């Protein structure tokens, strides 16, 4: 009488299962090795800290005040009931229209040093830094250009912020985080100091603790050699 093949089925299935398990482990191993090898060849992006500053064009925020129905909720969202202690003037006033909804290209500022600040209205530490930046802008205006780029921000909140602090230097939304990524910014606030030749000479991570510290960085930027072309 012929022997049934049923007795071999569990062993065959066990063999196939072991083979599939080993194959799966091998595939995972190959993937992990590939990821590891890719990581060696492509290390994490390094912050842009020297050389030619990546060029960009920014379209500045409007200077017109937000409608009342949008302004108050935005202020409450940003500062809570104590927003009055942050706002340096009447938030219902228009800001100076000198940089009202215009395009500014970094490379076209060549010949003038630039302080480039990345910020956001949702950034807690930016609250204490913003007055220092505006005050420095007022001191160095005509000698240094200040640019602000808001990161991952809502239009109404960013505009309420600019009104609250009466920011008069050019500011714009960094759409899609393109400039943020080009400079490999790690978080906000971060500030880059670009000399008259368009080179990054320094950067500062975090909020400036005092006007004196910000002045030190600006003075180092101003002392950088300039092109004779």
Q: What is the DSSP string of 43-97?
A: PPPPP--SSBPPP-EEEBPP-SPPPHHHHHHHHHHHHGGGGGGT--S-TTSPPPG
Q: Is residue 97 part of a domain?
A: yes
Reported confidence tier of residue 47, pLDDT bands at 50, 70, 90: very high
One domain for residues 78 and 148: yes
More confident residue, 66 or 24: 66
More confident residue, 75 or 83: 75
Total structural domains within the chain: 2
User: What are the strands of the beta sheet with 114-119, ordered from one edge?
Assistant: 171-173, 145-150, 114-119, 190-194, 200-205
One domain for residues 64 and 176: yes
β-strand pairing of 114-119 with 190-194: antiparallel
In tens, the pLDDT along 139-169 reads 999 999 999 999 999 999 999 999 999 999 9
Instruction: Over range 10-15, report the average pLDDT.
Output: 58
Whether pTM > 0.85 for this model: the answer is no
Buried b (16+ CB within 10 A) or exposed e, 157-190: bbbbbbbbbbbbbbbbbbeeeebbeebebeebbb
One domain for residues 65 and 95: yes
> Residue 173's domain spans which residues?
57-222
One domain for residues 31 and 134: no
Q: Is residue 79 part of a domain?
A: yes
One domain for residues 68 and 152: yes
Q: Contact, 123 vs 148, CB < 8 A?
A: no
Q: Is residue 218 part of a domain?
A: yes
């Amino acid at each position: 009488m012929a022997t049934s093949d049923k007795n071999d089925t569990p062993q065959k299935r066990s063999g196939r299962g072991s083979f599939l398990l080993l194959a799966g482990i091998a595939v995972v191993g190959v993937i992990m090795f590939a990821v590891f090898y890719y990581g060696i060849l492509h290390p994490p992006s390094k912050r842009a800290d020297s050389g030619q500053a990546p060029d960009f064009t920014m379209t500045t925020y409007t200077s017109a005040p937000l409608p009342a129905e949008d302004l108050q909720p935005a202020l409450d969202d940003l500062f809570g009931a104590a927003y009055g202690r942050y706002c340096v003037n009447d938030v219902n006033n228009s800001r100076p229209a000198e940089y009202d909804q215009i395009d500014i290209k970094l490379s076209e500022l060549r010949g003038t040093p630039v302080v480039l600040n990345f910020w956001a209205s949702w950034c807690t530490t930016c609250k204490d830094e913003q007055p220092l930046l505006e005050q420095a802008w007022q001191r160095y205006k005509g000698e240094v250009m200040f640019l602000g780029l808001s990161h991952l921000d809502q239009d109404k909140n960013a505009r309420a912020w600019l009104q609250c602090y009466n920011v008069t230097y050019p500011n714009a939304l960094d759409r899609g985080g393109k400039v943020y990524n080009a400079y490999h910014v790690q978080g906000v606030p971060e500030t880059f100091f670009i000399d008259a030749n368009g080179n990054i000479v320094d950067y500062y991570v975090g909020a400036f603790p005092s006007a004196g510290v910000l002045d030190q960085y600006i003075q180092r930027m101003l002392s950088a050699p300039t092109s004779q072309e």
